[in-house]
Amino acid sequence: MTQAITAHERDAVPEVTRLATGERGGAPGITSEADRPPDPQELRDDQVDGPELTARLAKTWGTEKGLIGALSTVDHKVIGRRFIVTAIIFLFLGGLSAVVMRLQLAQPENNLVGPDLYNQLFTMHGVTMMFLFGVPIGEAFAVYLVPLMVGTRNIGFPRLNAFSYYVYLFGGLMIWVAFMRNIGPDVGWFAYVPLSGPEFSPGKRADVWAQMITFTEVSGIAIAISTVVTAFKLRAPGMTLDRIPLFVWAELVNSFVIIFALPAVVTASAFLLMDRLIGTHIFNPAEGGDALLYQHLFWFFGHPEVYIIFLPATGWVSAIVVTFARRQVFGYIPLVLSLIATGFLSFGLWVHHMFTTGLPQLGASFFTASSMLIAIPNGIQIFCWIATLWDGRPVFRAPLLFVIGFFFIFVAGGLSGIMLASVPLDTQVHDTFFVVAHFHYVLIGGNVFPLIGAIYYWFPKFTGRMMSERLGKWHFGLAFIGFNVAFFPMHITGLMGMPRRVYTYMPEMGWANLNMISTIGAVLFFGSFLLFLHNIVASARRGALAGPNPWNAGTLEWAAASPPMPQNFDRIPVVTNREPLWAHRDTLPVVAGLSVENREQIVSTVTAGRADLRETTPEPSIWPFLTAIATTILFIGSMFTPWAFVWGTPPLALALIGWFWPKPSTEDEK
Amino acid sequence: MKRLVPLLLIVTLALAGCQGWQSALDAHGPAAHTLANMFWIFVAVLGTVWFLTMAALLLALRRRRPVDADPLVTDPGTEKRMTMTISVAIGLTLVTVITFTGLSYAAQKVLYSHKDGALTLLVTGQQWWWEVTYEDEQPSRVFTTANEIHIPVGEPVLIKLEASDVIHSFWIPNLTGKMDAIPGRQNQIQIQADRPGLYRGQCAEFCGLQHAHMGIVVIADTREDFERWRDHQVSSAIAPNDPERQRGMEIFLSRPCIMCHQVRGTDAGGKVAPDLTHVGSRRTIGAGTLTTTRGNIAAWIVDPHGVKPGVNMPTIQLEPDEVQPLASYLEGLK
Amino acid sequence: MTIDSVQPRREGALPPHRVVLNARSMPAYAYGHRSPIWWGTVGFAAAEGMGFALAIGAYFYLVFINGNWPLSAPPPDLFWSGLFTIVMLASAWPNSLAKRNGEREDLVRSRRDLVIMSLVGLVLLGIRVMEFTGLHVRWDQNAYGSILWVLLGLHTLHLVTDLGDTIVLTVLMFTRHGHGKRFSDVGDNAFYWYFVIASWVPIYLIIYWFPRWW
C-alpha cells in the first residue's frame, strides 16, 4: 500500500519506527485486552477508499438529526461553532451596553441613564467582555480548530467539552436574564469588597455576579484541560513538539494559564458568596478578615486574564501572518518560548493593579520591574512577525489588514502599559479614562482585531464560503478609524482628571468635547460591527464557494473539507513539517488501519508525537447536557439557600453516573 | 493616512490636556511636577518606539521582492540579518525597560518620602463625601469639616486616609497621585501646593451609586490666610440674629437633621453626615455637586435624591414656608 | 445563526492519500501517562491543587494580617483529626494494591480492592464528621473560623467526590462492563486518591499544628 517516498528531502517521511512506538498496551507479562487484535469483522480504512470511506466515516462520526441529536452531539466542530457564535453574540451585547454608556457620557450631566442603570451597564459590559466573550472566544476557537490543526478527529474529552459549552451558555443566560429583570450586578466586573459584600450590596445582584463566575470558570477550566490533552496526546503521528502549529502552541499555553489562574477567581468569588450568604468573615476587617485579600485573589486571576485573552490572538496572528506573507514563520522557537515566558510572567504582575492601595514600596517596585519585563517576550513576538512579513511576499487580503490594524493598536496599548507599570505614574492614571484607553488598545487591538482577521480567515473553513473581500476592506477602515476616534481621546480625558465608572460629570470639568468625540467614535466602531454582521450573514448564504484550501495555507485544517466532514479527515495525516500542506503538495502521507465503524483515533506520545494507541472516543450522549442542567439548578439554587447543595447534589450525581456509564453496545468507550 | 488620525489627535488634544483644573499634567505641586515630567519622558521614548516599530512594519509591507518563491525556502543570509536586527531591538528594549524601572523607582522614592509637615489631616472617605479632620496637639483646636481642605502654600501636608464604609480613593491630580482609602486600614499621602489656588479632586475608586459626585477641593492659601481660616473653623457657629435665620435654626433643630449633622454651638450633634458648623463658608455642597448658594441649599434640602440620586440623606418633609428660612440659616453658617 | 444553516459542501479536491503507517496492530488502550484520561486527571488535580494552594495562601495572609492566631479560639482538637490522618495515610497501601491489580487486569482482586477502598472512604467520611465537631470555632465567628471551615470543607469536597467515584466504579466492576479499559479507570481513580491523600498532609499540619506552633 505504501507508495514510494519522493526524493525531495522535505517530503521524506521518516521510517515507521519514528512515527509509531510499537509498544504493547498491557503491563509486561500480562495478557491485556488492550493488545487483542482488532475484530476481523470490523471494517477498517485500509480496506475501503474514496467517497465510500468518506460516507461511511461521516455516518460513524455524524450528529443525529432532531433536538435530542443536537443536544447530544459531541462533535467538536458543532460545539465549537455554537461556542463561537454564542461568544460573538455576547460581544455584540457587551458592545451595545458600551454604546449606551457612551451616549450617556456624550455630554455633561446627561440624563439618558441614571446611576443605578449605568452601574449595571458598565458591570455587564465588563463581565460580558471578560467572562462571556474574552475567555470563551479563545477557547471556542481552540475547540473548533485545535483538533483539526493537530490532525485528529475529535477533542480530548468530547462530552466534557459539550458539558462545558452548556454550562457557559447557562451562566451567560443567567446573568443577562438577571440584568433584564433589573437584578443585574452593579459592583463592577471586579466586584471589590466591601462594596460587593453583605453590608453594602444587599439583594441578589452581587450573588449573580459571583455565581456567574462559577459557571464560566468551571466551563473554562474543563475546556482548557480538554485542549491540553488534545494538544498533548492526539497529535498526528510525526507532529513533534517543534512541528506544532503556533496557533496550537498559543492555545496550549493559554490553557495552562487558565488552569492555574481561574481557580483564583473562583476562590475569590466563593469566599465572597460565603461572606454574603452564610456569614463568614474572610473579607470583613472587623472580624479579622481583610478587604485587600480579595484584591490579591482577584488580580492573581485578573492579570493572567489579560493574557488569556491575548494569547489565542497571538495564535490567530501567527496563522494569518504566515499564510498571507507566503513564508514560513521566522523565529518559530523564539515565538514558542515567548509564549511560554508570557504565560509564566503573567502570574508575576498582579500587584500592578494595586499600586494605589498603599502596599510596601519595595514590593511594589518589584512588580514594576516584572510588569515592564513582559515587554521582552511581547517584543520578540512583534519583531518576529514583522520579520516574517519583511522576508515574505505579503498578500493584502482582509485577514492581513486586521492583523496590520492589530500591530498599530496593540503596540500603542502595550507601550502605554509600560506607563501603568511604573508605580509613580500609575498613581496619576490609575482608575482614570487613561486606563480605559490603555486596556481597550490592548484588548481590542490585541484580541478583537486579530479575532476579526481570524473570522475572515477561517470563515471559509467553518462554512465553505468566502466572506466578501470588498465589505471586509470597508469594515476594516471603519473599525480602525472608529476605534481610534473612540479610544485615543480617552487618554487625554483621563489625564485631565476624569475617573472611570462615573455616570456623569459636570460641564465645568472641560471634558465635554473629548467625550463627544469618543462617543462619535464608539458609534462608528459599533457600526463597523453591523457591517461585519451583514457580511457574515450575506456571505454564509451567497458567498463564493471556498474549497478545502482557499488561501493555499500550510496547516492541517486546510486538508479537511470546507466545512469539514464529521470525521475531519478520512485518514489521520502524518506530519513531517510545520506546514504539512506546503511540504506535501501532491499527496498527503496518512495512517491507515483505523476502524470505519467505531470512533477510533490515534493517541500519540507527548513530545515526539509517535503514534501509540488506537483509542475509541465517546459517542454522542444527552447526559452532558442533563448534567449541565443539574449543575445550573445547583448553582442558581445555592444563591438562595445553602440547602441547594443537599437537594441539588443527587440529580447531579445521577446525571454524572449516566454520563460515565458505558453503553451496552460499545464496551470500550468512556 | 489612517495612522495620521492618532497623530493629529496627539498634537491637538495633548496640548488641551496640559490645562484644566483637575489635570494631572497641570502640575501645581512638587510631586505632580515630578510625575508630569516623568510622564513626558515616557511619552517621548515610548512614542519613538511606536513610530520606529510601525515604520519597520510599513517598510516590511512595502518592500519589493521576487514573486512566487517557495514559502518553505529561506535564505540563510537574510535569516541571519533578521536575527541580528531583532537581537539589537530586543537589547534596546531591555535597556529601555531597565532604565524606566530605575527612573520609576527614583520617582517613587520622591513621591513617598514624607517630610515632616506642619499639618496633619485625617480624611475619611464615606459614601459619598469626604470627612476632613484637622489634627492638633491641643484637643480644643481639633475640628472637623467636609469636602474642602485648606492648606498653607509651599508646606507639605500629611493626610491620613481612612474609609468608613467601602473603598474610596483620594486624588488631587494637580498636586499628586492618588491613594486608596480602605476600610480597616490607614494609608498616608502628602500634598503640597506651589502657589495659592483651588485644586479639585474626586474619588477615583468606584464606590457605588454616587461615585461620580464625590468631589473635594483643596484650597491653598498663604500661611496667614490659612491661619485665619483655621481659627475661624475651630470656633463654634455664631447664633443668628435676624428673625428669618432664627426661625431657620429652630426648624433645623426640631427636625431629624440633627440626627446626622453637627453644628457646633447648638444641640445638633449628629456625626454620620458632614459637619455643618461652617457650611456656608464652603464652596460647594453635596461633595462638589452644587455651589453653595441659598437657592442650591434649598434645592438640596427639598429633594436631595433629585440632585444626587441614591444619596444617604433622606428627604425631610418641610412646609413650603420652612424651606427658605432653613436655607438661609445654613447659608449663613459662614 | 446563519452559520448553522450552511449545508456541508465539497468543492475542490482534497489531496490524495499516501499510506505510510498502519495502526491495526496498535493497542486499544494503555495505562498511566500513555492514556489521555490520565492527563485529564492530572489537569484537574493541577487546577484543584491550585485551589488548595490559594486557600492555604489566604490562610497565611490572614495570619500575617492579624498577628495573633488563632484569634480568640482555642486550637482544634487532635484526636479525630489524628485518627483521620492515620487512616488516610494507611489507605495508600490498599490504594497501591488497587492500582497494581488494575494494571494486571485481575478482576477478582480489583473488585476486592475497590470494595476495600470504598469502605475506607466511608470510614474516613465518618471520622471527618466527628472532626468538624472538635474545631471549637464556627465559620461565622471570625475570619479564623471562616478560613478553617473553608480548608476542611474543601478537602471534604474532594473526599466525597472521590468516594462517589470509587463506589460507582466498584459497582461497575461487578457488572459485565468490568473488563478492558475499565482497568485503566481503576488506575486513574487510584491516582486521584493519591491526590486526596497528598493534599491532606499540608492541610492537616496547617489546621491542627500551625496554631499550636505560632
3-class SS at B177?
A: coil
Tally of domains in chain C? 1
- Write down the pLDDT at residue C2: 28
Dihedral over alpha carbons A650, A653, A657, A660 (to 10 degrees): 160
Report the first-to-last Cα separation within chain A, whole angstroms.
33
Question: B225 lies in a domain?
Answer: yes
Question: C123 lies in a domain?
Answer: yes
Chain A partners of B112 at a C-beta cutoff of 8 Å?
361
Residue-number span of the structural domain to which B198 is assigned: 119-230
Inter-chain residue contact A502 with B25, CB threshold 8 Å = no
C touches which chains (3+ CB pairs under 8 A)? A
Mean pLDDT of chain C: 91
Closest residue in chain C to residue A602, using alpha carbons only: C23
Q: Does residue C7 surpass a pLDDT of 50?
A: no
| CA gap A317, A407 in Å, rounded | 10
Chain B partners of A205 at a C-beta cutoff of 8 Å?
none
Chain A partners of B208 at a C-beta cutoff of 8 Å?
119, 195, 200
Alpha helices (H) in chain B, listed in sequence order: 4-17, 30-62, 76-112, 223-234, 243-254, 257-260, 294-302, 304-307, 320-331
Closest residue in chain B to residue A434, using alpha carbons only: B24
Question: B281 lies in a domain?
Answer: yes
Q: How many CB atoms lie within 10 A of CB B316?
A: 14
- Write down the pLDDT at residue A30: 85
Residues lower than pLDDT 50 in chain A: 1-7, 667-670
Chain C partners of A540 at a C-beta cutoff of 8 Å?
2-3, 5-6
Question: B235 lies in a domain?
Answer: no
Q: Does residue B2 surpass a pLDDT of 60?
A: no
Inter-chain residue contact C50 with A259, CB threshold 8 Å = yes
Identify any residues that bridge with B150 across adjacent strands, giving them in sequence order: B219
Name the residue among A234, A464, A613 with its Cβ closest to that of C8.
A464
CA distances from A218 to A41, A161, A222 (A): 42, 11, 6
Residue-number span of the structural domain to which C203 is assigned: 48-213
- Interacting residues of C15 by C-beta distance below 8 A, sequence separation 6+: A559, A581, A584, A585, A586, A587, A588
3-class SS at B93?
A: helix
Q: How many CB atoms lie within 10 A of CB A127?
A: 29
Question: C136 lies in a domain?
Answer: yes
Same domain? B249 vs B310: yes
Question: B46 lies in a domain?
Answer: yes
| CA gap C108, C120 in Å, rounded | 19
Question: C87 lies in a domain?
Answer: yes
Report the first-to-last Cα separation within chain C, whole angstroms.
61
Question: C12 lies in a domain?
Answer: no
Overall size of chain B counted in residues? 334
Q: Which three cell numbers stand for residue A462?
A: 467553518
Mode of pairing for the β-strands spanning A611-616 and B119-126: unpaired
B328: pLDDT confidence band, cut at 50, 70 and 90?
very high
Inter-chain residue contact A229 with C40, CB threshold 8 Å = yes
Q: Touching check for A229 and chain C: CB below 8 Å? A: yes
Q: Touching check for A588 and chain C: CB below 8 Å? A: yes
pLDDT tens, residue by residue, B206-215: 999 999 999 9
Comparing A432-446, A572-586, B6-20, C44-58, which segment has the lowest mean pLDDT? B6-20
Mean pLDDT of chain B: 91
Domain boundary residue, one of B168, B198, B230: B230
Chain C partners of A559 at a C-beta cutoff of 8 Å?
14-15
A touches which chains (3+ CB pairs under 8 A)? B, C
CA dihedral sign of residues A636, A641, A643, A645? positive
Inter-chain residue contact A615 with C36, CB threshold 8 Å = yes
Q: Touching check for C96 and chain A: CB below 8 Å? A: no
- Interacting residues of A488 by C-beta distance below 8 A, sequence separation 6+: A437, B5, B6, B9, B10, B13
Question: C29 lies in a domain?
Answer: no
Closest residue in chain A to residue C15, using alpha carbons only: A587
Distance from CA of A139 to the nearest CA of B (A): 29
Identify any residues that bridge with A616 across adjacent strands, giving them in sequence order: A600
Chain B partners of A422 at a C-beta cutoff of 8 Å?
38, 42, 100-101, 103-104, 107
Q: Which three cell numbers stand for residue A364?
A: 511594589
Give the global pTM: 0.94
Chain C partners of A276 at a C-beta cutoff of 8 Å?
none
CA atoms within 13 A on the CB side of A458: 29
Q: Do residues A449 and A406 lie in contact, with contact meaning Cβ atoms separated by under 8 Å? A: yes
Of residues C141, C136, C146, the one with CA closest to residue A274: C146
pLDDT tens, residue by residue, C140-187: 999 999 999 999 999 999 999 999 999 999 999 999 988 888 999 999
Inter-residue long-range contacts of B19-22, CB under 8 Å, 24+ positions, other chains counted: B19/A510, B20/A496, B20/A497, B20/A509, B20/A510, B21/A508, B21/A509, B21/A510, B21/B174, B21/B198, B21/B199, B21/B200, B22/A496, B22/A497, B22/A498, B22/A509, B22/B173, B22/B174, B22/B199, B22/B200, B22/B201, B22/B202
Same domain? B190 vs B247: no
- Write down the pLDDT at residue A662: 86
- Write down the pLDDT at residue A115: 95
- Write down the pLDDT at residue B73: 85
Q: Does residue B117 surpass a pLDDT of 90?
A: no
pLDDT tens, residue by residue, B30-68: 999 999 999 999 999 999 999 999 999 999 999 877 666
Q: Does residue C10 surpass a pLDDT of 90?
A: no
Q: Touching check for A51 and chain C: CB below 8 Å? A: no
Of residues A451, A442, A432, the one with CA closest to residue A514: A432
Same domain? B27 vs B103: yes
- Write down the pLDDT at residue A664: 64
Name the residue among C18, C34, C71 with its Cβ closest to that of A612.
C34
Alpha helices (H) in B144-290, listed in sequence order: 223-234, 243-254, 257-260
pLDDT tens, residue by residue, A188-197: 999 999 999 9
Tally of domains in chain B? 3
Question: C43 lies in a domain?
Answer: no
Name the residue among A34, A586, A593 with its Cβ closest to that of C22.
A593
- Crossing angle, helix A332-345 and helix A375-391, to 10 degrees? 160
Q: Which three cell numbers stand for residue B122?
A: 485625617
Inter-chain residue contact A499 with B182, CB threshold 8 Å = no
pLDDT tens, residue by residue, C82-137: 999 999 999 999 999 999 999 999 999 999 999 999 999 999 999 999 999 999 99
3-class SS at A418?
A: helix
Inter-chain residue contact A356 with B180, CB threshold 8 Å = yes
Inter-chain residue contact A225 with C51, CB threshold 8 Å = no
> How many cross-chain Cβ pairs, A to B, lie less than 8 Å apart?
286
B touches which chains (3+ CB pairs under 8 A)? A
